């Protein structure tokens, strides 16, 4: 397991680019809300800790992870430097999990290829609720924090000639 014994929230702040002049969009799935709100909080905390003003962060909610693609596409039009797509898909008894995970990952990949505003994939795809809890502020830290750091780095990269 990739995150076993790793805290996703740990990073060296001295290696993070200055983010005070960047604007970020965060699109949050309402499905599995207790998980996505934890991820959102991790992202917000990391952005603010690295100099982003609260007024430079736009949040939109969408019904589920599948809708993150359209929400992120529309967010790219809002003069932001990067978008963070936050969702949580927990495996059930049907193949629905597979279809949603594949569509969302491919859709966000496509947005990164087709548009000039990076979209960060912060969608947990877990086997059970405990795994999601562990990665949204639990024993493995917070994947939202990791996504925010990636967003800052990608926003900075996108400003390079």
Choosing from 81, 96, 115, 140, which is the catalytic residue? 96
Say how far apart CA 126 and CA 133 lie, in whole Å.
10
Nearest partner of 16 among 153, 115, 134, judged by Cα: 153
DSSP classification of residue 53: -
Question: Is 96 a known active-site residue?
Answer: yes
Find where tokens 């597979």 sit. Answer: 98
Coil, helix or strand for 35?
A: helix
Nearest partner of 134 among 2, 17, 30, judged by Cα: 2
Rounded to the nearest 5 percent, the helix, strand and coil shares of the chain are 45, 20, 30
Which residues are the active-site residues?
96
């Amino acid at each position: 397991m990739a995150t076993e014994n790793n805290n996703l929230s740990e990073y060296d702040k001295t290696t993070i680019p200055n983010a005070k002049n960047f604007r970020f969009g965060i699109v949050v799935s309402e499905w599995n809300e207790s998980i996505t709100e934890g991820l959102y909080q991790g992202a917000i905390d990391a952005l603010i800790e690295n100099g982003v003003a609260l007024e430079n962060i736009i949040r939109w909610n969408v019904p589920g992870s599948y809708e993150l693609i359209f929400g992120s596409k529309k967010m790219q039009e809002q003069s932001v430097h990067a978008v963070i797509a936050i969702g949580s898909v927990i495996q059930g008894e049907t193949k629905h999990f597979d279809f949603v995970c594949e569509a969302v990952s491919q859709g966000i990949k496509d947005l990164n290829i087709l548009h000039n505003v990076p979209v960060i994939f912060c969608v947990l795809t877990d086997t059970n609720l405990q795994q999601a809890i562990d990665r949204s502020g639990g024993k493995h830290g917070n994947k939202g924090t990791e996504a925010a750091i990636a967003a800052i780095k990608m926003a900075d990269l996108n400003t390079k000639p």
